[in-house]
Amino acid sequence: MNKRRETILRYFLASLAVMLAPAALACSPIKSIGVVFERNSALVPAKEVLKLANWTAALRSAYPNRESLFLSTQSAFGERDAINLGARRARNVAKVLTKDLQFDVKEVDLPNKGIVAAVPASEGSNLVKRVDIDFLPACPHECPCQVGDPLYKAPQR
């Protein structure tokens, strides 16, 4: 019984130490959005262009300094030439952002090839046939690590 109490006390103290340890705040200023495509098409649909226009307008006002865009892509199981289709989709989204919407960033990171879903998606699923965009603002930005920086100015909302 004494051994059991020791074990319980050890678990209790370990749990208590974990709960009382200072929490680490993750700092991630990345903003993300997804662009959905029609099956077997690399053409960015008009409703998605409008969604990107609204998104970039909000980013422009909040972040005068812009660092980079990272694009990743996934094609649906069974789409024609799915790997290359994903890469074409990503290039078209990058063109819409940088040329058509003139959203200037220092770097645009495009995938060399797309990822293809291993199994068919359920009907109407937007988890495939898409390009995901991660936007990274340049410093200063609203991360807690920026608070106290004399150049930091909180975005107006």
Specify the pLDDT at position 156. 54
Specify the pLDDT at position 91. 95
**Measured between alpha carbons, how far is residue 70 from residues 30, 67, 73, 131 in Å?**
10, 10, 10, 10
Specify the pLDDT at position 95. 97
Buried/exposed 42-67: b ≥16 CB within 10 Å, e otherwise: bebeeebbebbeebbeebeeebeebe
Closest CA to 40 of 69, 76, 66, 92: 76
Specify the pLDDT at position 78. 87
Q: How far apart are CA 27 and CA 2, in angstroms?
A: 45
**Measured between alpha carbons, how far is residue 9 from residues 2, 3, 4, 14, 85 in Å?**
11, 10, 9, 9, 59
At 60, the amino acid letter reads R
pLDDT by residue, tens only, the chain of 157 residues: 577 666 666 655 555 455 555 554 456 678 899 999 999 999 999 999 999 999 999 999 888 888 899 999 989 888 999 889 999 999 999 999 999 999 988 899 998 877 888 777 776 676 678 999 999 888 765 565 555 555 555 555 4
Does the bond joining 22 to the residue before it have cis omega, within 30 degrees of 0? no
Angle, CA of 136, 37 and 89, to the nearest 5°: 60
Residue 114 is inside which H or E element, if any? none
Closest CA to 95 of 32, 49, 136: 49
